[in-house]
Structure 1
C-alpha cells in the first residue's frame, strides 16, 4: 500500500516538474520557437551574470570594467557614460523595460549613443568597436536604484554579462563585407 502511494506521488511530481519550463521561459514564441526579442516573461539570469553596486559620479563614481568591451560609469546626471579611456569606441542602447538580464537578447540596429539615461527595470546593450572595425557586445540590466535616506539617487544595482553575443548577431553583421563575414571568429564575439 505504501509503495502504491509513493509511486502515485512520484508520478504527480514528475508530471508537474516536467511541464515547468515553457518556450516563453526560454525566450521563444510558443509554437514556432522564434525569438521573443527583448521582453516576454522573466527569464532566469544567465550563467556568468555579475551584479555590481554602481555609485554615480556625485557619490563615489564606481567604474565598471567590462571584459572585452571597456569601462563605464554613471555620471552626475544619472546616465551611463563610457569611462574616458574608451570614450570614442563605446556606445549604449536602451531596449526599454524588461523583466531581467535574461530578457535582454536582441541588440537594436538604431538608437546607439555615448550617453543614455539609467532607468530602473530597463535593459541595455553596450558595444565596443575593436581596432578591426567589429563590435563586441555586453548586456546590462538596472535592477534598482540605490537611494539615500532623503530618497535621492546615489547610483544603481546593475547586472551585466560581458561579452555577450546578441541573438540577432547575423542581422547586425549584414553591412560587413563578405570576406570579413565569412571569418567572424576573428572579431572576438564568439
Structure 2
C-alpha cells in the first residue's frame, strides 16, 4: 500500500489517508458485490462504488467521525446506481418515441429534379421552389424578396427553362 501522506506530519488524533486506505480495502469488495446484485452489471457496479469512494475520500475527515462511514458510502453508491438506471430508462423511452423510421429512397425522378435544382443560380432556384413547392404566388414571392413582380416572373422563366434543359439531358442519358 502506498503512503499518501507525502512527508506531512500526521496528527495521531486526526484520521489520515492511511485510515481511508484501510477502510477502502476492507469494504470495496463487499460493496461491489452488493451493487452488482442491485445493478446486474459488474462494470456499472464497479463504477458507482469507485465514484462513491472518491466522494468519500474528499470528505474523509468528516465521514471518519461518523458511527458508520460505510453506510454513507453505500447510500451514495446506491443513489448513483439508481441515477444511472433512471438516465438509461429515460434514454430508452426517448429512443422508443423518436425511433428512426425507414423511409423509402427517392425515386430516379426526384433525384434528377434535386440535381437539376442544384445547378440553378440561387435566386432562380429560390423562386422556383417558392412558387412550385411552397405554392406561393408571384406577388407573394416579390413581396418576400423585395423585388418587382416582373423580376420574379423573369427568374421563374429562366429557372423553368434551365430545369427543362437539365431534365431533358438527364432523360437522354438514361
Q: Which TM-score band applies after superposition, normalised by the shorter structure? A: under 0.3
What TM-score comes out, normalization by structure 2 length? 0.26
Larger Cα Rg: Structure 1 or Structure 2?
2
More strand per residue: 1
- TM-score, normalised to structure 1, is 0.25
